[in-house]
Structure 1
Amino acid sequence: MISQEQDIFFLDEQPSPQHLENQKTVKILTVDDDSNFQRSTAFALSTLKVLDCKIELAQAFSYAEACQVLTKENDFAIALIDVVMETEDAGLRLVRAIREVLGNEKIRIILLTGQPGMAPIFDVMRNYDINDYWTKSELSADRLQTILTTNLRSYQQISSIANAKRGLQLIAESSGALYTSRNIKELSGKMLRQLSQLLNLPHGGIVCVKSTGELTEQGISHQIIAASGEFEPYFGYALQQLEQQHIRAQLELCLSRRQSRIENDFTCLFFPDELAGADYSVYLATGRPLDITETELIRVFSMNICGGLHSVSLMSQLDKIAFEDPLVKIPNLNVLIRTLEGVLAEDIREKFNLLIIDIDKFSDFNRVFGSPQGNEMLKHVASCLREHFDACVLVARLKDDKFAVLGPKTLVTADIISRLFIQPYQQGKSKITVNISTVTLPLELADGTAVDAITQVNMALKTAKKLGIRQHVTYQQANDDNVAYHFELLQALQHSITCNDIHIALQPQVCIKTGEVVGVEALARWTLPNGQNVPPLDFIPIAEATGLITQLGEQLFVQSCQALCALNEAGYTNLCMGVNLSAMQFEQENIVDILKQHIADANMPPGQIEVEVTESIAMQNFETIRKQLNDLRSIDIRVAIDDFGTGFSSLAYLSKLTFDRIKIDKSFIDNVTSDDGAAAIVDSIILLGQRFHMNVIAEGVETKEQAKWLSDRGCHDAQGYFYAKPMPLPELLTWLKNYQKTPL
């Protein structure tokens, strides 16, 4: 326990010219189609300083141009937006786009109008998330300065709060990993990584522990017990061996004065022995001054670290006995329980996954090859897990061939872990493949204590193991009837996929203006032997959780190619076939070659295939997906982004992804003629597609009013029950034969 009277001492810091220079620029965007007003505004701002900040001005002359600028740059502090531009409500639609589509809550929006009657102030302030509203005639130089000062101060306060919240959350999430470190060196390495993440800096630091007083040829030798970035080669060296004399001097000064120092381009932290068990000094290369919020976060983090250092110093030997698995040298069940209890006690449980791993057929392997070989397999599994995950993830061995991984949901998934064991490893003269099954428990579903949560997962693991090897299941709260239903459904799904009994239905896609059929989308349909139709929302998640989605997705792609061949032979050679691919299919390194082979087997041109990837999948593993999409387009396969607008990163990543078509999600189309919010979003997406020269198609069009609304705004294509339902290939051929196109 750390006494409240004790503290980490910091030397007073003085503002420097460099610090002031780094704080001098603020970005402001003006959006107005009146070039004269833009010039006068730019002139007024050219000599203006706000809160001692120099203004960096960007200008846009239309709604669409402003959307493009804001998509590329999200760090504007203030936006001055005219209400009436290319349309009477262009400015108001831009406000909606900024807040609802871009999700930018920090930027301060000042609405301007030269025609006050077009947008009454009380209605606008009530219905739109803006911060100020003025007529242009009121904007004198003094008033402009006052408005910008007030809104910039507000922006800075909101930014500081957001940074502080992020930092405190990071500190809270990292505490468990820090306190479960096995020794000083491990904790020190975690300390450097967490500090770098906290300050958004590249790794580059040194942790040094004060000498116990032993004399060497260089004098009293302090020891470097952790190093990262450019300093990594000095890990384990004496401080006197560090070549950078300035850094060595700062660490020695920090230890001798027993005070922390925060300077313009580095931070040197001191941890006293009364709090940490020994005197420690940490050098972090910041490359810039820290702001007030970062300095306070450092203080909080420092106190947290002190507790960790002290605990590790006192408990390192006991931990080896009580908390370390003697065979594989990683934390054991006791550590998992202790850490899990800490996470469950905080308000952060919804951000964490607990994943239990079981080695398939391990007892058979032991029986055939003997316990020594089995122990080597356990060590290999432990090593793969520990080397892959960093300090914010806990890896533990529970017992026998069971392991646990506890950490943030973005890092701890069955897909990530299963990929670690795809390749065989060398054991003696043999190559051994490790097959694993997993159960993932999102901690918001955990009931009771940490022990209760582990029991929940173990029970689910036993059920999953009955289904065979390589089972990957996500735990779901359900009553006994639901558990039985999902178990039976999984067995039936495995059988149906083996027998290729899941088929496609084809839904036409129509050009809204001409009424011409331009393509079809292949949708999975499953009918049980008793005639019951199983909705895709029921069986697709099971296929994804168990890994069956890869085999199913490939079967559906082959069926789609065969259907397209039949359509071509029937004379419908201008149609494009849309096929959905899952996240697991995109994670296959050879997915492009697999699809290319199926297309070649069907003897059809790749240009008639359109691969659809949902926005959420594209954002999960952005760089991998981007490469796969580029490779697909290189062989003339088209690419569409499905369910566009339902995620958080659409516009920010739009210019970086390579695709041909945007599919607007049905949830927006449902209310497009009655909900201004949905209409504004759809309108923005259509304009965005036009700006990037992409085809835009709306899903779920069910009424003529919706089709007319979309047509008036330039949406190219549509699909939905207004045109046709999904249907089997023979029914589609009949429908196409009798179809009469009706232009809008």
Structure 2
Amino acid sequence: MGPHGDDLVEFIDDSPLPGPAPAHGRRSWTVLIVDDDEDVHESTRFALRGLDIEERPLRLLHAHSAAECMAVLRAERDVAVVLLDVVMEASDAGLVAVEGIRGELGLHNTRIILRTGQPGQAPEIDTIRRYDINDYKTKSELTRTKLFTSLTAAIRSYAQLCQLDESRRGLEQIVASSHHLMAHDGVQGFAAGVITQIAGLFGIPSEGLVCASASGDPNSLTAEQLRIIAAAGCFSHLVQHPVSEIGDPQIISNLTRCLREQRNLVTETSVTLCFSGHEDTRYAVFIDSPEPLGDVDRELLGVFCTNISLCADNVELVTRLREIAFVDPLLGLPNRSAFVQHLDTAIEADALAGCTIALIDLDQFAETNDMFGHVYGDRLLGAIASRLRKALPGSCTIARVSGDVFAICGDETLVSPAHLAPLFDTPYVFDGIERPVSACMGFVRADTGSSAGAELLKDASIALKRAKARGQGEHEFYTSAIGLESRQHTRLLHELQQSFGSDALFLAFQPQLSLESGRVTGVEALLRWRRADGSFVPPDQFIPVAERSGIITLLGNWVMRTALGALAQLDHAGFSDIRMAINVSAAQLRDRSYAEQLGLALQESGVAPGLLELEITESVAVMGMARVSALLAEVKALGVEIAIDDFGTGFSSLSYLDQLPVDRLKIDRSFIALLDSCRPGARIAEMIVPLGHCLGIAVLAEGVETECQAERLRAMGCNEAQGYLYARPMPLDALLQWLQTYRTRVA
């Protein structure tokens, strides 16, 4: 790979080339190679070694940047062809160089062949139009023979342009024709441009001009196989019809014969031009000319056809690249880029009044793919796309914007939950088996004031996330309140990222005590975030943001290593029997290397693994029992203890609790608060304690604030307690002082 990810040019000798001739005493063609990869220079030099074009040798010049290219061309004005890399020191360096060649240096005859290993960097059509790019090739398609062919065509064009520059000023029309044709989008626009340019070149009206195309074996061509792709005057209504419908025997005969024999036909009353396009496609243009063409005009026609042939290839290449860039290859629907472009165009034209944008996300699609395979998933996507097409009129735009997410833009009466949700009521049938499908939907009305399509799509995505958070088959409309909350989360995330690695984030430690002996048995490490103004951001606000953004993994690793460092300090201060508890989210446990990272951190800290306890919540059950059990088994193998935090508030299941290697249950503070009253829920704590003991698991109560609560827990047989009754969370230095004082008082 090159420095910008380009595939290096690999020239394959795929067919014989003309043999070299002695170069002594003959004028050479100068070719400038511009590429920032020295391997490309060497490969091109090797591929062109000893080759002649038009009986003249090649003289190669080299440049490695856009600036160096301009410097060479200022000194060397007679450069026939520039082989120019699109992406060099910058993503648009090649196009900047093209602008300088055509604009600043005024080199309009020099032929430019763009090369790149990145099709996504293809020049836009307006760029090709402005700067007369002669040809565009991806490096992977440039075999040795094709490079020679491209250079031959370009050099012939350059030679003809230079010759005609000296003999006739009408050549300027030809040069203009070449790059103006490239501005048309698709083959039909290209053919219409041919007609207009030819009529202008020879000073005749466009009446009676017909352009047809054909492919396949030319020997068996018939008038029925030729299709009219552009026409003017009395034949303009026949576009996309067979040539046989023209009704003029002379035109039918000339077009058919021209394409069959693959040559130009010139008579006293008409001219029929033949030129080749991409692969086996050919074009013919009939011109009803009342006067015969002179010798000079015939020579100009040859040059014109050479330029038109190159333009035809480029038009189809750009068309294919645009299809790749804007069409989903699986379903044939517009993709995300095309959908955003559609919205931008509609916004600019003020055409979105009364419209709604919807995002439809299939529920459990990843699981469907895993269970039945990608072929089944692709069939399901195709069936859903087909049902959407049938249910929505052509005025609605349907796109596939990601793997299992469809986007729709249309009238608000059609793009609505009432109209779209019933489309998923009927199961899909594959191979006689019904497959129920549900989907979450996010909607945004186009009158939200967004000035760009990407903003509308983002708003719909925000609404979709809200719907997915509520469960399967839900929908949500975007509102300003939802947008404000989303922006606040974004700001909070940005602020959290800036605070990471600074003193703004720190650990506070809360003691845990034995209810029977009163001895301090452990401490819990709690993450805290203090802003510059001294205010604190509650963990229940920033932890979910960290989990959704993915930075929880980095944050969790920092907490783990910092807590282990604090545990080492406790041991050094003489508190060697106190364990350290840290909270671990389900998002962290999804990292398959978590146990390995934990082992390395323990090894580096030097603390006894049995003094570390990981607190997980019952929500880890959504990861799947097999995966959770395997991971916790790895953790236990390290000697680390495991506690279930906030027990009783999540997805409690006695079966999974009995299977997991758990050392401790932590009763949620909400149940402890009820112990001082007779309200419902007070008995839950009474049930959890014996449950834990029955399973051989110690029980710790969180949020203990009164002696009454402590007494009731002690009477139940609860093992340990933690809460404001004993101590609030505190920094490490304060914890050390508290432990010293507490030890003295208890002793």
- With structure 1 as the length reference, what TM-score do the two structures score? 0.40
- By relative contact order (CA 8 Å, sep 6+), the higher-ranking structure is 1
